[in-house]
């Protein structure tokens, strides 16, 4: 027991020291020479490990961008300032998964505990982005009586348009897609803001509603006992919460299933994230309900689903496929040793490091045995999803609609692309944020830039749906294109889902008259 307490104290002390050291380093000035070294290091690692670096940009053009960046670095910068210079160049590679980690301030356990008992400053609202305009679309707590549809014009005297122009350069979709930006940028806007400005206790904002400007002060409030108790209850995992993958921070479920009509003809499945958590049970129970109800139509809603598990989308597809299928093509690597560069010991404390060391031989052989060299001389990684999968017993044989938009990314785009190619569904909504022909993700190698200490996670697998490629360098295009306006969203007027319902009713009425 004494040894355990001593070990815990040593680990806690090390953690506090690490946080303090990191924050000091984050604020220190780094010489131009050292920063240029980091630029070269980042580009070198990308060329070594990224399996399709020049998919959307030529090597000549990318060389020029990195060289031009180095020429602009002529004074000392902090790691955060350097991030805002290097990330725009990384984004020009046009790989949505490829991004430097923001060197944000780290917090001690004491600070984290204090923040947990306080409410967010900007995070208590929902937003929608149109061009250079950021709108409040939901204000559940009626903070400062800000109405849905109000535009946020500025924060502490700096215009939102200026922030958006700066932050947009930090992100990219896959290829030349344009629908991804408004969805992703409104979700990460305040991540960039906090990295740049820190966590504020108050902020003066200027708003615009129905041609009337107003200046307001937002203040960070403390949670009361009732709210703290509710959070504790929300975190308790009930059977329903497990099945539908409850997210306590947003008080919402990742998965929902219901019928859209009284006679259960139309089944509806909303999937916010392919998290894999309890997904097998969710799909098994949902498709059993569909079969028992004799539903003829199924709507799968993956709007603003940024992706996740290939395993889960393979499971979902197995309930939709009329015959055995292969979800993705063999996943390409830069070399046979690439899977061993996944930072196996990353973020391990001394105890974890010891345990992982004992397990490393098994990890080494597993990764090595899963790599093979193709007839083309290229290294590939074996995955369950690039092998044939049989349809499930409760496979759905009716008509399927899939709702997509610019927030449908990564795994959402993979399954949308495959379903469209196989002519299994009708896609409704907007072009997906992820590419039609695949992406680079899978597992990652975290490369820390030696001087700025910024992490660069590099995807190691080229993951592509098992289709004939379009080579459009864009997202999955819907069969029926329908875009929602800000007012539609504020009024909760789902015109995309309404179109599907109307189309189903039209088909049902035609069958009745035959």
CA dist., res. 403 & res. 296, Å (int) = 17
CA dist., res. 78 & res. 196, Å (int) = 11
Contact 420, 170 (CB under 8 A): no
> Which own/partner pairs from 99-104 qualify as long-range (CB within 8 Å, at least 24 positions apart)?
99/170, 99/171, 99/457, 100/454, 100/455, 100/456, 101/454, 101/455, 101/456, 101/457, 102/191, 102/192, 102/195, 103/26, 103/79, 103/195, 103/452, 103/453, 103/454, 104/80, 104/191, 104/194, 104/195
User: Looking at residue 159, what is its pLDDT?
Assistant: 97
Q: Give pLDDT tens digits for 101-122.
A: 999 888 888 888 888 888 999 9
CA dist., res. 413 & res. 345, Å (int) = 31
**What's the count of helices (H) and strands (E) in the chain, helices before strands?**
15, 19
Which stretches of 272-418 are assigned E, i.e. beta strand?
297-301, 331-332, 371-373, 379-381, 399-404
Question: Pairing state of beta strands 331-332 and 371-373?
Answer: unpaired
Which stretches of 56-132 are assigned E, i.e. beta strand?
126-130
Q: Give pLDDT tens digits for 345-394.
A: 887 888 888 888 889 888 888 888 999 999 999 999 999 999 999 999 99
Question: Measured between alpha carbons, how far is residue 235 from residues 247, 248, 251, 252 in Å?
Answer: 8, 6, 10, 12
Mean per-residue pLDDT, 266-278: 95
Q: Give pLDDT tens digits for 376-389.
A: 999 999 999 999 99
Mean predicted lDDT score pLDDT of the chain: 92
Longest dimension (CA), the chain: 82
pLDDT at residue 16 above 70? no
> Which own/partner pairs from 185-188 qualify as long-range (CB within 8 Å, at least 24 positions apart)?
185/129, 186/127, 186/128, 186/129, 186/134
User: Looking at residue 191, what is its pLDDT?
Assistant: 94
Q: Which of left, alpha, beta for 50 (phi over 0: left; psi -120 to 50: alpha)?
A: beta
pLDDT at residue 246 above 90? no
Contact 346, 101 (CB under 8 A): no
Is 105 in a helix, a strand, or coil? Answer: coil
Confidence of residue 292 (pLDDT cuts 50, 70, 90): very high
Q: What ranges in 144-216 are assigned the alpha helix state H?
A: 160-168, 180-197
Q: Give pLDDT tens digits for 159-191.
A: 999 999 999 999 988 999 889 999 999 999 999
User: Looking at residue 4, what is its pLDDT?
Assistant: 38
Q: In what order do the strands lie in the sheet with 426-429?
A: 255-259, 266-271, 297-301, 399-404, 426-429, 480-481
């Amino acid at each position: 027991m004494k040894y355990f307490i001593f070990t815990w104290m040593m680990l806690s002390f090390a953690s506090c020291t690490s946080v303090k050291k990191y924050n000091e380093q984050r604020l220190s000035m780094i010489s131009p020479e050292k920063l240029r070294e980091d630029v070269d290091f980042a580009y070198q690692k990308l060329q070594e490990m990224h399996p399709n670096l020049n998919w959307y940009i030529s090597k000549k053009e990318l060389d020029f961008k990195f060289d031009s960046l180095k020429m602009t670095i002529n004074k000392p910068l902090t790691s955060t300032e350097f991030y805002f210079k290097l990330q725009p160049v990384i984004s020009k590679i046009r790989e949505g998964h490829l991004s430097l980690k923001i060197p944000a301030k780290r917090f001690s356990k004491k600070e984290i505990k204090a923040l947990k008992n306080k409410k967010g400053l900007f995070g208590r609202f929902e937003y929608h982005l149109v061009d250079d305009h950021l709108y409040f679309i939901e204000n559940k707590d009626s903070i400062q009586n800000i109405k849905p549809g109000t535009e946020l014009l500025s924060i502490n005297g700096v215009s939102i348009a200026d922030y958006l122009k700066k932050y947009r350069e930090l992100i990219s979709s896959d290829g030349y897609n344009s629908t991804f930006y408004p969805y992703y940028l409104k979700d990460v806007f305040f991540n960039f803001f906090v990295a740049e400005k820190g966590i504020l206790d108050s902020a003066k904002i200027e708003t615009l509603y129905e041609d009337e400007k107003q200046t307001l002060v937002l203040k960070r409030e403390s949670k009361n006992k009732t709210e703290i108790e509710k959070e504790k209850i929300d975190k308790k995992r009930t059977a329903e919460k497990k099945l539908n993958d409850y997210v306590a921070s947003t008080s919402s479920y990742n998965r929902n299933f219901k019928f859209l009509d009284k006679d259960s003809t139309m089944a509806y499945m909303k999937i916010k994230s392919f998290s894999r958590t309890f997904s097998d049970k969710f799909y098994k129970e949902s498709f059993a309900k569909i079969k028992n109800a004799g539903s003829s139509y199924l709507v799968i809603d993956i709007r603003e689903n940024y992706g996740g598990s290939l395993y889960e989308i393979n499971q979902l597809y197995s309930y939709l496929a009329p015959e055995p299928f292969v979800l993705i093509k063999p996943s390409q690597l830069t070399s046979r040793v690439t899977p061993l560069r996944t930072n196996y010991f990353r973020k391990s404390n001394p105890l974890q490091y010891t345990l992982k060391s004992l397990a490393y031989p098994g990890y080494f052989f597993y990764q090595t045995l899963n790599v093979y060299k193709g007839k083309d001389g290229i290294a590939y990684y074996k995955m369950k999803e690039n092998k044939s999968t049989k349809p499930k017993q409760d496979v759905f044989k009716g008509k399927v609609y899939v709702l997509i938009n610019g927030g449908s990314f990564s795994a959402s785009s993979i399954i949308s692309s495959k379903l469209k190619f196989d002519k299994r569904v009708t896609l409704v909504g907007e072009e997906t944020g992820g590419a039609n022909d695949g992406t680079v993700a899978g597992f990652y190698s975290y490369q820390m830039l030696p001087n700025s200490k910024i992490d660069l996670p590099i995807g190691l697998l080229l993951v592509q749906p098992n289709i004939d490629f379009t080579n459009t360098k864009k997202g999955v295009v819907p069969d029926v294109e329908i875009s929602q306006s800000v007012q539609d969203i504020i009024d909760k007027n789902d015109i995309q889902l309404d179109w599907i319902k109307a189309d189903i009713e039209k088909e049902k009425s035609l069958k009745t008259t035959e």
